[in-house]
Structure 1
Amino acid sequence: MAAGSAKRALRAELKQRLRALSAEERLRQSRLLTEKVVAHKKYQEAQRVSVFLSMPDEIETCEIIRDIFQRGKTCFIPRYKFQSNHMDMVKLVSFEEISSLPKTSWNILQPDEEDEREEALSTGGLDLIFMPGLGFDKQGNRLGRGKGYYDSYLRRCFQHSQVKPHTVALAFKEQICDSVPVDENDMRIDEILYEDK
């Protein structure tokens, strides 16, 4: 089976697994991962951190973002251009600002295009990138939603930065697969955090 059709089949299966998770279970695993993140050496050392604003079927990142600000780190969040696969990581000014961000047609909170913000790559890059996804395997392969935003952004990071950012996926244990199909455009990630059995 070609990677494209294998990915489509796996995406459908993973979406079904995620739909079966109760709100309580999503919250339990999210809290556990927040504890793992704040105790993580790479996180404690990082100054410039990128993190996604989670959708309902993703690990809840709210408390991670709160901790970033409490520790005096600089927080960047994705701003997607939906007509392309282009994404920037733009500065979030405060934790409180999240509630006033507009919602896109994909139900994602992000600053408007017209909202001039510091972009991470233009001011020194990133130390650490927390990534969402639909599925992951233990070799560091990631299955996204099919648009290639993170793969494209990571390639730009490697071209711009002297130092490669450390990439960490945040996952429910139900998103861990034996093997994720990949092609030449897929970027491997450094680490996947999830509830270890």
Structure 2
Amino acid sequence: MKLADNKAQKSLLRRKMLGQRQRLTSDQVKIWSQQVSQCMLKDPLFQQARTIMGYASFRNEVDLSPLLGRSLMQGKQLLLPVTDWEKQQILPVAVERYPADLRPGRYGILEPARDQKLWPLEAIDLVLVPGVAFDFQGYRLGYGRGFYDRFLTQLPRHTKIVGVAFNFQLVPTVFPEKHDVPLPVIITERGMINRLGSRRI
């Protein structure tokens, strides 16, 4: 497939999936999000991690608030991304109180204050990554700016990465490009899915 065709397919899929997500009711988002958090809490990837980078949900993304709050209660170090729009990158910043430490950033996305501690990448055990869609090969479709794509390639090999989505966001293909790197695990309200579609509850 030509690059232009590939980008057009990705754009169409992005619009379709965002439309579906926006049509979810608040009750659906709440219930499914709680199920995602419960699945993650039971998984060794979470239980063994000491430092976890999550995200603040936006526009009906999976809301990880129960998981993030529990992380702090269990004495784990919680990180959330701050977006540097000038440098086109996201930065992992420490959060001591969730959600009290968060402030609205650009587009109203909640993020830590910029004067909070910036965390070294090599000290992150687990990163939870939102997406517009994922396929069964582990490839992720984001919002099209490449912030997470660039961030994930900088992480050390020991850092575990989990894509986070609702089950309807799993599709046959997200039309990956050569530079795209697949994620090893995706979690939905139905459980953990290893790359190539093997599901573990």
TM-score by length of 2: 0.87
Is the Cα–Cα contact under 8 Å of residues 90 and 120 in structure 1 kept in the other structure? Answer: no
Residue 20 of structure 1: CA displacement?
1.7
Output aligned runs, 1:13-162, within 5 Å.
13-95=16-98, 98-113=99-114, 115-121=115-121, 124-157=122-155, 161=156
Q: Percent identity?
A: 23
Q: Which moved more, 1:46-55 or 1:187-196?
A: 187-196
Query: How large is the Cα RMSD of the aligned pairs?
Result: 1.7
Q: Find the aligned partners of 1:101 and 1:196 in 2 and give their Cα distance.
A: 29
Structure 1 length-normalised TM:
0.89
Name stretches of at least 5 consecutive residues in structure 1 with no aligned partner. Answer: none
Cα distance in 2, alignment partners of residues 3 and 117 from structure 1:
39
Structure with more of its chain in strand, by fraction: 2
Alignment gaps of 5+ in structure 2: 192-201
Q: Deviation per CA, 1:42-83, whole angstroms, max 9, x where unpaired?
A: 110111111011113201111111111111111111011123
Given that residues 53 and 92 in structure 2 are in contact (C-alpha distance below 8 angstroms), is that contact kept between their aligned partners in structure 1?
A: yes
Report how many aligned residue pairs link the two structures. 188
Stretch of structure 1 that moved more, 38-47 or 163-172: 163-172
Q: Which residue of 1 aligns with 2:197?
A: none
Checking the alignment, whether the CA contact within 8 Å between 2:80 and 2:95 is kept in structure 1 is: yes
